[in-house]
Amino acid sequence: MNKKRDRARRLIRILPALLCLVGFMLLPAGCGTASQPSQKPESPDTNAMTTASETVTPTPEPESEASTPAPSPSGTPTPSPTAKPRPEMSATPEPVRKDTRLPFSRGVNLGNCLEAPLEGAWGLVIQDEWMTAIQGAGFDHIRLPVKWSAYAQKEAPFAIDEKILERVDHVIETALAADLGVVLNVHHYDEMATDPEAHADRLAAIWAQLAEHYKNQPETVAFELMNEPNGVADPVWPKMQETLHAQVRATDPDRWLCITNGSWSSAGRLSTLTLSETILADERTFATFHFYEPFSFTHQNASWVAGSDAWAGTKWNGNTMQQRQITNLFDQVSGWSARNGDIPVLMGEFGAYSAADPISRQRWTEFCAREAERRGFAWTYWEFASGFGIYGKNSKQFDTALLKALIP
Ligand code: BGC
């Protein structure tokens, strides 16, 4: 993997020279501008996510207690996870990629907590004890969605409230003490979907402050620039992302930094994301996609998705056609990663809402987790103790069947 990426980087570097040479041989004037590596265009994704997601309003899913142990799913293939190989030393004097592997692989989202307008507003407050429970269950990281836009000034300099920084510091500290990595993101910056340009400076200021504030954290604290860019942001997001990436890099040169595509980070649209040379050559950049396919199964009866009551009772049996719908999309993601120097991939959200029947949920969850691992994707389940949850906030018990689907 590392060699491939090194080769890609080397090719990018010498490509302008090669093109110049060819141009020089064919045209008397030669050439003077560098050329980007070409990307094979992918056909657009026509899966349910795209259309159904457009009806999503970002409201919390109702809470549910994690259910009591249920029978394990049967007939689900359980391929063993294959991790990406450790990087090899390069014989060239070029900078060697420090690590082609993310410092975490299996995690869970602390959803419905800090991405609510105020922690607790959606029924959940992060508990310190969760961290040891999560680690003890076999996870190695959490994703921490935070609605920073609710805590930053509306006008320049867009200062972030000290209190939220203290709260997030505490959550990160507790997670690290439990040996969990943290993917810290910007979540539910809703105005970005309707008027991204008007909010670009504010988002940049938020990231400038976060980069500075967390610059001394260990490498297991990663940044994710934006949760599920969508709407009006779609066409402008890639450029905006490049700017944010460069800005964080100026302060935090080694931090693992997560990038994504528009269209709600859907798997089928990741391949439409063209990476700049800078991002392509950056050794600590990884990509994320979210996975909720088929949407009519994972979001049946979800109050925040208009019309989802019509999907009630949708099952996931794991037949060949259903499996292929998932593996085809995962393969598209793998192919895109391979064409981009084997950039590491995190399936940063996937899950089925608790309105689905438990056996289908377990089957689907297990299938997605194993298929992701088979392709070397890290994953973070959506989410811990709410409507998609694996843990009862009152019972303080895991849904053992769902947990086993994630971590066999
Ligand atoms: C959103 C949640 C939603 C989940 C599943 C997440 O990205 O932040 O509000 O429940 O996706 O739809």
Residue 310's Cβ-side half-sphere holds a number of Cα atoms within 13 Å equal to: 5
Confidence of residue 369 (pLDDT cuts 50, 70, 90): very high
Q: Is the pLDDT of residue 219 over 50?
A: yes
Q: Which residues contact 271 (CB under 8 A, 6 or more apart)?
A: 42, 332, 333, 335, 336
57 Cα–ligand 1 center, Å:
9
Average pLDDT over residues 384-392: 98
Round to whole Å and give the CA distance between 342 and 370.
19
User: What's the CA-to-centroid distance between 321 and ligand 1, angstroms?
Assistant: 26
**Predicted pLDDT at 16:** 38
Mutating to test ligand 1, I would choose from 349, 365, 388 the residue with most ligand atoms within 8 A of its C-beta, which is: 349
d(CA 403, ligand 1 centre) in Å: 20
56 alpha carbon to ligand 1 midpoint, in Å? 9
Is pTM beyond 0.85? Reply is no
* Ligand 1 atom nearest residue 290's Cα: 7
Taking the centre of ligand 1 as the mean of its atom positions, its distance from the CA of residue 385, in whole angstroms, is 13
Query: Of the ranges 96-105, 117-126, 368-377, which one carries the lowest mean pLDDT score?
Result: 96-105
Q: What is the pLDDT of residues 124-157, one digit of tens each?
A: 999 999 999 999 999 999 999 999 999 999 999 9
Q: What is the DSSP letter of 314?
A: -
Examine residue 157 and say whether the peptide bond preceding it is cis (omega within 30 degrees of 0). Answer: yes
Q: 23-31: list long-range contacts, CB under 8 Å, 24+ apart.
A: none
Q: What is the model's pLDDT at position 266?
A: 98
Q: Per this entry, what is the length of the chain?
A: 408
Single out the residue of 401, 293, 322, 324 nearest to residue 357, CA to CA.
401
CB-CB contact of 224 with 261 (8 Å): no
What is the best residue among 112, 288, 301, 382 to mutate for testing ligand 1's pocket, by most ligand atoms within 8 Å of CB? 382
Q: What is the reported pLDDT for 12?
A: 43
Query: Tokens in use for 353?
Result: 């809402």
Q: If you take atom 12 of ligand 1, which residue's CA is the nearest one?
A: 299
Q: Does 12 or 121 have the greater pLDDT score?
A: 121
pLDDT digits (tens, 9 = 90+) for 46-58: 333 333 333 344 4
Digit-coded pLDDT (tens) for 298-321: 999 999 999 999 999 999 999 999
The average pLDDT across 58-79 equals: 41
Residues 23, 27, 32, 35: what is their CA dihedral angle, to the nearest 10 degrees? -40
Could you identify the atom of ligand 1 that is nearest to the CA of residue 299? Answer: 12
Query: Which ligand 1 atom is at minimum distance from the Cα of 59?
Result: 9
| Cβ density class 72-93: b for 16+ within 10 Å, e for less | bbeebeeeebeebeebeeeeee
The 10 Å Cβ neighbour count of residue 364 is 27
Question: What does the block give as tokens for 112?
Answer: 């419905």
Alpha carbons 97 and 253: distance in angstroms, whole number:
13
**C-alpha 202 – ligand 1 centre gap (Å):** 23
DSSP 103: S
The binding-site residues of ligand 1, defined as CB within 6 angstroms of any ligand atom, are 58, 61, 227-228, 349, 382
Ligand 1 centre distance from Cα of residue 189 (Å): 13
Nearest atom in ligand 1 to 387's CA: 10
Nearest to 254 by CA among 278, 282, 288, 277: 282
pLDDT at 61 (0 to 100): 52
Q: Residue 282: pLDDT band by 50, 70, 90 thresholds? A: very high
